[in-house]
Amino acid sequence: MYMGIVSFHKTDTKIQFIDTSGEDFYKKETNNNVLKPEHIDVIIQLFDSKEEKEYISKSVDKDKIAEENYNLSVSSYVDKKDTREVIDIKVLNAEIKKTVKNIDKLRAEIDEIIAEIEG
């Protein structure tokens, strides 16, 4: 769930975007996400404080939104956290080298068994 909040009774020219797609903002139940009172409290607190939190909330000036052709998509202004697994290439290469060594050993054993069978 994404949320953009617009208030017409404020003095600044910023629009606050809150990305509520993270699991801190809802409870997963079967195929549905449920918004509980504690989740609403967190969203309201973010809105009231106008706090900018990385990957969650950001206030954007209306001029910047105009530059973006009035795009009000939350994901255009609030970056998504990169949750991809970090892989150490040196460790991965060592594991591949070990696997190849094991494969070579197994091939040699299979060749010996075939040689015995062929006799």
Residue ranges per structural domain of the chain: 2-76, 85-119
Closest CA to 75 of 11, 33, 18, 8: 18
Cβ neighbours for 4, distance < 8 A, ≥ 6 positions apart: 15, 16, 17, 18, 72, 74
pLDDT < 50 regions, the chain? none
Helix, strand, coil in percent for the chain, rounding step 5: 45, 20, 35
Query: Both tokens of residue 72?
Result: 């009000």
Q: pLDDT tens-digit profile of 68-79?
A: 999 989 989 998
Q: What is the pLDDT of residue 4?
A: 53
Distance CA 36, CA 66 (A): 34
